Amino acid sequence: MIGQLNHVAIVVPDLAVSRERYTKVLGTNVSAPVDLHEHGIAVCFVELPNTKTELMTPLGTKSPVSAFLGRNPSGGMHHICYEVRDLRAARDHLVAGGARVLGTGEPKLGAHGLPVLFLHPKDFDGTLIELEEIAQ
């Protein structure tokens, strides 16, 4: 059901500092930051030959990643994102198998402008999983 790994997301305390570190120290190309107000985060993507790394930071204290950063002040891995061809069919299959979808269960547009859903980490060995419907 799941396809390729789309990205690994890392919460960072300072997006500008992290962008510079990934660019200058690791020698990668990093996209410009984008504020995603609906999700309460600012993001940029480290572009790699086989996948991406999403660097994200909260936009204010009501952001869903603020509590994560409070528990992990240096930042850390937040979630992994897999691609799926049909997000609603994947959701229905997962729910039928006992997985819990976070939020309303309805897809929202993610950082790539494509529909996404998040699965409860307790159902996947403590890992928050994002599913992103790939453009067809």
Catalytic residues: 130
Count H helices and E strands in the chain, helices first. Answer: 3, 9
Task: Spell out where 1-136 has E strands.
Answer: 5-11, 29-30, 34-36, 41-47, 52-58, 76-84, 108-109, 115-119, 128-133
φ and ψ of 45, to 5 deg: -120, 130
Among all chains, which residue has been given the structure tokens 């950082």?
A: 111
Q: Which two tokens stand for residue 95?
A: 């729910």
Contacts of 57 (CB under 8 A, 6+ apart): 11, 12, 13, 14, 15, 18, 41, 42, 43, 65, 69
